[in-house]
Amino acid sequence: MAKLSKKAKEWSKKIDSTKRYELTEAIKLVQEFSSAKFEERVDVSFRLGIDPRKSDQMVRGSCSLPNGTGKEVRVLVFARGEKEKEALEAGADFAGSDELVAKIQSGWLEFDRVVATPDMMAVVGRIGRVLGPRGLMPNPKVGTVTQNVGEIVKTIKQGQVQFRTDKGANVQTTVGLVSFSSEKLAENIQSFYESLVKLKPATAKGIYIKNISISSTMGPGVKIDISNFK
């Protein structure tokens, strides 16, 4: 049997792994046990009562967190002409067309989100094998294939997160930094919860949200009482 580290022993004394904590209390525990030398993220994980093998039960979307994530997001936009100009004026880090495709094909990946106008999807398709596996492919379902490039760039920069269920029916996202106040983290988690509820598949039966937990990048997971949410 593996020995527990000193930190793990401290966590086990303070955090009951079988208990579901009140939201604010859970956040404070996560902040208390954040001890890395870098600014840790706070991540939330939802276990959903869906069958991820069924296409009509796949939960995928985006959520604009009211307090952002605390992370600077580099946005790349595939557009031409006035739409390219609109994207850059809205704060896009990169905008263009074929020249960006060539750059990415050569191995460049210094960006976090990708947006495209509908007419550019044929161009973007040439690098689908690069963007797709990394979760970067523009998709109309989450608003990243649009004519309103200025609006979506601003939304992403202000703290929009994308999410989708994994093979285990879990959805995870970053909701801020450990340095955020507990109130701001709670607001972000509540907003993410509401986004998931709105996306409940019509064919999903039984309990939709089965479990919620939060953790810092290097810290322990803390379970949250679902009744905390409105």
pLDDT at 216: 92
DSSP 169: S
> Which residue in 120, 109, 188, 182 sits closest to 149, CA to CA?
120
pLDDT in tens, 122-175: 999 999 999 999 989 999 988 999 999 999 999 999 989 989 899 999 999 999
Asked whether the beta carbons of 26 and 223 are under 8 A apart, the reply is: yes
Q: Is the pLDDT of residue 8 over 90?
A: no
pLDDT at 38: 84
pLDDT at 5: 58
Q: Is the pLDDT of residue 105 over 90?
A: yes
20-69+160-228 — its CATH code?
Answer: 3.30.190.20
Tell me what the mean pLDDT of segment 53-58 comes to.
92
Report domain extents, the chain.
Answer: 20-69+160-228, 75-157
pLDDT at 109: 96
Type of residue at 206: G
Q: What is the pTM of this model?
A: 0.82
Q: Out of 3.30.70.270, 3.40.50.970, 3.40.50.790, 1.10.3720.10, select the CATH number for domain 75-157.
A: 3.40.50.790
Query: Can you tell me the distance from the alpha carbon of 51 to that of 228, in angstroms, rounded to the nearest whole number?
Result: 25
> Which residue in 226, 195, 197, 194 sits closest to 211, CA to CA?
226
Within this chain, domains 20-69+160-228 and 75-157 share the same CATH topology: no
Query: Can you tell me the distance from the alpha carbon of 95 to that of 77, in angstroms, rounded to the nearest whole number?
Result: 5
